[in-house]
Amino acid sequence: MKYHLFRKITRMYVIVIFVLVGCVPAPPAPHGAVPDPYQIEWQKMEYYMFVHFSPNTFTDVEWGDGKEDPKVFYPTQLDCRQWAAIAKAAGMKGIIVTAKHHDGFCLWPSKYSTHTVRESLWKDGKGDILRELSDACREYGVKFGVYLSPWDRNHPTYGTAEYNQVFANTLNEVLSSYGEIFEQWFDGANGEGPDGRMQAYDWDLFHQTVYRNQPQAIIFSDVGPGCRWMGNERGVAGETNWSTMNVEGFEPGRGAPSTRILNSGEQDGKAWVPAETDVSIRPGWFYSASTDDRVKSLAKLMDIYYTSVGRNSNLLLNVPPDRRGLIHPNDSARLMEFRRAIEEAFAVDLAKDARITADHTRGKSSRYGTKNLTDGKFDTYWTTDDHQLSASLEIDFGKMQTFNRLLLQEYIPLGQRVKTFSVEYWDGGGWQSVTNQTTIGYKRILRFPTITAQKLKVTIVESLACPALNRVGVFNAPDIDQ
């Protein structure tokens, strides 16, 4: 008798659980172009180091002509472990090195060139910077990436049909020899300058070579396909910044979309090509002793952080080694200040202990509720029913709080959705406007004059599909002197 009663009660619990689970609405369908898993992991990196290092470091020029004597390349104390240690200590997640710049000089002993470290005096021609740097990156737990310019001002076949295969062979050599590559960096430079030889680049061949060796690698160029240049070298992504863009019919360099489109992306673009902001910590890309006292100020770097990472873009900050082959102390010290300033700005999230309510939640289900906005998990999110394209989130701190930063993140595996939103605070008698903005994307950080209030409200005014946010954060960042 007890056995049958137990079975009956168990069946009832199973039915109740089945009914409750059945009431949870399905998640939203992805909208438009969406990132692949490698692009999502790349976006989470947010901030990493660019390293420009070549004979230009020793000739004090930005673009070498390929005629320089390779013996001029002679770093006396080169230490890639120092680069990696500094990147790690600065909070950077990777290093991309100029393995081959426009002058054609290779930082490894390539069998497809006679303009390499093999022909230099460094280590009597027996060195390999890519080997040393890739090993150092693994040791310090930062990812390794490479820049190889398709333009080659030294190679005799450049400007002929033969060169495309030479460059593909060069790519294959690098991408098969140094472990995992997180990003392959291309630009579209092609015979710039007077009487420069032009090359009809075979981008399909180049991309196939990358993916055959490194299927997870993010390919950077004006039009991706993994991520895109955002149109300037000042560190300023568009306030409106879609991660989608139309790339059909375009190519890197002269055939790229306008800088306006590169800077802001395109709503309903058919390809997911998120922005990467590349900028140098110094006035130039390569080291020059004349710029030792012109390292960007902490205030300027923080501005760049907010106009890159804070505008749905990753930040690739160039830190060029000096003629010793070491990162200069001025650059290193500023990077450490930069990390501390970022950490201090976002040390205390006032939203974590606040009560957050929404005027719409998908199926009124806790699975898609506002608790997901502060749980620290990437794959949980607040969202609305499919037809609900506008909604408000009210953040009640429970007491007066002082703040000047708002951080928002969309759940990008479902695509980028939010087109416009507004922010208001409660002054005790009514809602007062803070700002009206456009896109959010992977991460949006708003700066505004310091406010003291008990409540803050974020209203999604217009969304291309039901909005889906996985984080809201509110902070009071300290002022930084110029």
The pLDDT tens digits of the residues spanning 381-435 come to 999 999 999 999 999 999 999 999 999 999 999 999 999 999 999 999 999 999 9
CB 319 within 8 A of CB 335: yes
Assign domain 37-345 to its CATH superfamily: Glycosidases (3.20.20.80)
pLDDT of residue 22: 55
pLDDT of residue 408: 99
Q: Is the per-residue pLDDT at 14 higher than 50? A: no
Q: Which two tokens stand for residue 242?
A: 């879609």
Cα Rg, the chain, nearest whole Å? 26
pTM for the whole thing?
0.95
pLDDT band at 482 (very low <50, low <70, confident <90, very high): low
Q: Is the per-residue pLDDT at 287 higher than 50? A: yes
Sign of CA dihedral 17, 18, 20, 26: positive
Report the share of the chain in percent with pLDDT over 90: 93
pLDDT of residue 4: 45
pLDDT of residue 192: 83
Residue 125 burial (C-beta neighbours within 10 Å; 0-12, 13-18, 19+)? middle
Q: Mutual orientation of helices 129-140 and 80-89 as an angle, nearest 10°?
A: 30
Average pLDDT over residues 212-230: 98
Q: Which two tokens stand for residue 413?
A: 């595996």
pLDDT band at 6 (very low <50, low <70, confident <90, very high): very low
Q: Is the per-residue pLDDT at 3 higher than 50? A: no
Q: Is the per-residue pLDDT at 323 higher than 90? A: yes
CB 434 within 8 A of CB 459: no
Q: Which two tokens stand for residue 72?
A: 């001029």
Q: Is the per-residue pLDDT at 356 higher than 70? A: yes
Residue whose tokens read 């022909």: 119
SS3 463: strand
Q: Which fold, 355-475?
A: Jelly Rolls (2.60.120)
pLDDT band at 367 (very low <50, low <70, confident <90, very high): very high
Q: Is the per-residue pLDDT at 20 higher than 70? A: no
pLDDT of residue 437: 98
Candidate from 108-122, 167-181, 182-196, 324-338 with smallest mean pLDDT: 182-196
**Average pLDDT value over all residues in the chain:** 95
CA 319 to chain centre: 16
pLDDT band at 7 (very low <50, low <70, confident <90, very high): very low
pLDDT band at 16 (very low <50, low <70, confident <90, very high): very low
Residue 479: φ, ψ to 5°: -70, 150
Average pLDDT over residues 311-329: 98
In terms of DSSP bridges, do strands 355-358 and 391-410 run parallel, antiparallel, or are they unpaired?
antiparallel
Q: Is the per-residue pLDDT at 446 higher than 70? A: yes
Sign of CA dihedral 429, 434, 438, 440: negative
Q: Which two tokens stand for residue 358?
A: 């929404």
| Closest-CA residue to 278 (of 234, 332, 220) | 234
User: Which distant-in-sequence residues (6+ apart) come within 8 Å of 420 by Cβ?
Assistant: 436, 437, 438, 460, 461, 462
In order of 35, 229, 363, the CA distances from 465 in angstroms are: 16, 27, 16
Q: Is the per-residue pLDDT at 1 higher than 60? A: no
pLDDT tens profile 193-205: 776 789 999 999 9
Domain boundaries, the chain: 37-345, 355-475
pLDDT of residue 471: 98
Within 13 A of 355's CA, how many CA atoms are on the CB side?
Answer: 5
CA–CA separation, 27 and 307 (whole Å): 32
Is the fold of 37-345 the same as that of 355-475?
A: no
pLDDT of residue 197: 86
Q: Is the per-residue pLDDT at 8 higher than 60? A: no
CA–CA separation, 276 and 263 (whole Å): 10
Q: Mutual orientation of helices 329-345 and 298-308 as an angle, nearest 10°?
A: 60
Residue of higher predicted confidence among 349 and 20: 349
Q: Is the per-residue pLDDT at 18 higher than 60? A: no
User: Which distant-in-sequence residues (6+ apart) come within 8 Å of 86 by Cβ?
Assistant: 319, 327, 332, 335
Stretch (H or E) spanning 193: none
Q: Which two tokens stand for residue 310?
A: 């804070």
User: Which distant-in-sequence residues (6+ apart) come within 8 Å of 191 by Cβ?
Assistant: 151, 159, 197, 198, 199
pLDDT tens profile 47-78: 999 999 999 999 999 999 999 999 999 999 99
pLDDT of residue 91: 98
